A and B are shown apart, each in its own frame.
Chain A
């Protein structure tokens, strides 16, 4: 039984292939098209998934899209009805687009795929819920999904048990926690639906001095854990901007322009909205705990990528355990839609051992064989050595220890926004100058942006105030007081770190690399940041990796068994 899940046409298009209930492949379109957050139909991602599974379109039993277009259109029309005469500017642009394209989704998908079977449709938040629960290690759990908006829903909760799930309660558009956070992303001069994580990274540099103002004027927190936004301050319903003039007046000025410097007020605003989001997420989680009686929680939707809030839910909400879908945003909707059809529509059983999840470490994308890599390197005239694994790891660790920045490209590409050791840039976390060097000389991005550590799972408690595995880098925990000075490159300004725990089952070669580094230096951690530069998607193929290596000040590149140093390379685009 082969099911293809698709998410597309909003942001982060993706495809996922499920065979007999097992996720065999998943990938985001941006990695192939090289357009960050690409929203176009994921034809390359579909092609990659089919190739990985060794099948063709004709082998598919079902194709399922991650949301219901007619319900989304209904929401748009209802919003115009409610706001008229305001909104004509957006109406005349949006409605023709829907009439021409988006209302014909079924035909469009069939045509793009050259697929003759029926196309199925899941609901947006049901897709998030299914992506959060079905791959989780839990037999039964509470489910909480929070994002910008799907059809009508912006927040929902319910329960999952075995091969079924139900969402019982929801908060509806325009009241949206995701859109509130995005409004601040916009106001702070960052890209909407893209740079929300920058707000989270900026927050520790400020003080939450606007928290009270936000809670009094922008969002009403209800006793039952729900929330209501003051819509006068926002323009996202029918306008072209996220915030209104009332919002500007409240915070004493217009939105920051992207080129303007970040000042203390911007940092304080980031700190304030981050605190508010954490409060609301905690209240929601406690409500879900009380109402469902489940002591395990599965989180999905774009807001579940807020790892600071996730860390607080784990520590403070009262759940025994939590699991977060690593591709919690819309890309993960493709996974959820496919699994929802397999379990809910087709009634197929779901198996879990209660310990490990079904996301396979997130390594669900394409891999490239040794000969593919050699061809690319030879074509580029690259100077390289082919080494056995032991030697490859020893040489890499020696370079890391001496302060080199290493591009590390191995095995199957990660699915979701994080690089988890297969498409990563690595460095020594003990060096005080490493954060600045990586930001300015390698990634060409803002100097305030923090870096995350990959740590051997069994040694996590020595360095962090958490012993909860965090394989997908979705939990933030305080760095132990005794270690803060020892790993400055991965300790954020507030003494926290966004942790990735690594064990040998999930990623053997990456684990052995960190273990060898630990044997050499006593430090069982590495800086792990995604293998890309600012405003580009994470690399996918060896060609992308080599280009990125040559365009930046990276010192070493390791692709599969091939070891390259910058010295001796001549720049020739492969």
Chain B
């Protein structure tokens, strides 16, 4: 049983490695496509609309800070 498994592993390993290389390539392409989609279909239009409508967050000079209650430590925002 052990020897058969070893033989199977030895034969299967190159296939597994090739598949993993392909999977990594696929993941990179997927990530790129997803990021490109989210950037050009969501971020860009929303950004343009907010810029045109003057609703873009950007402050210059001194900005007054909202007082933080001690309970804010429990939040990540």
Contacts and interface: CB of A to CB of B under 8 A. Distances in A.
A175 B77 CA distance: 21
Interface string B54-75: 0011111111110110111111
A71 interface: yes
B22 interface: no
B44 A85 contact: yes
Interface string A549-573: 0000000000000000000000000
Interface stretch (A118-126, A257-265, A313-321, A432-440): A118-126
B43 A91 contact: yes
B35 A95 contact: yes
A80 B39 contact: yes
Contact of A92 (B35, B64, B75): B35
Contacts of B46: 81
Given A71-B77, A340-B73, A91 B39 contact: yes
Interface stretch (A202-210, A220-228, A364-372, A532-540): A220-228
Interface in A70-86: 70-71, 74, 77-78, 80-85
B3 interface: no
Contacts of B35: 88, 91-92, 95-96
Query: Chain B: interface secondary structure?
Result: helix
A345 B70 contact: yes
A122 B73 contact: yes
Contact of B32 (A64, A81, A92): A92
A158 B46 CA distance: 35
A168 interface: yes
B50 interface: yes
A82 B47 contact: yes
Nearest to B32: A92
Nearest to A62: B73
B47 A84 contact: yes
A84 B48 contact: yes
Contacts of A106: 76
Contacts of A84: 39, 43-44, 47-48
B61 A121 contact: no
Contact of B51 (A80, A82, A122, A166): A82
Given A82-B47, A224-B62, A88 B67 contact: no
B: contact size bracket: 20 to 34
Contact of A96 (B31, B36, B60): B31
Given A68-B77, A84-B48, A341-B73, A170 B31 contact: no
Contacts of B77: 68, 70-71, 74
Contact of A70 (B51, B71, B76): B76
Given A226-B62, A228-B60, A121 B39 contact: no
A155 to B, nearest CB: 9
Given A68-B75, A70-B76, A85 B40 contact: yes
Contacts of A126: 68
A68 B76 contact: yes
A172 interface: yes
B58 A82 contact: yes
A474 to B, nearest CB: 26
B43 A81 contact: yes
Interface string B16-55: 0000000000000001100110111001101110110000
A166 B67 contact: yes
A105 B77 CA distance: 12
A566 B43 CA distance: 62
A91 B71 CA distance: 33
A169 interface: yes
A111 to B, nearest CB: 16
A220 to B, nearest CB: 9
A121 B73 contact: yes
Contacts of A118: 74
A300 to B, nearest CB: 16
B65 A167 contact: yes
Contact of B70 (A81, A88, A344): A344
A88 B39 contact: yes
Interface string A113-154: 000001011110010000000000000000000000000010
A171 interface: yes
A254 interface: no
A453 to B, nearest CB: 39
B56 A121 contact: no
Contacts of A336: none
Interface in A164-184: 166-172, 175
6 contacts: A69-B76, A78-B57, A96-B31, A156-B65, A169-B64, A345-B73
Given A169-B65, A344-B70, 12 more contacts: A71-B77, A80-B43, A81-B47, A118-B74, A120-B73, A121-B75, A123-B72, A158-B65, A166-B67, A170-B62, A170-B65, A175-B60
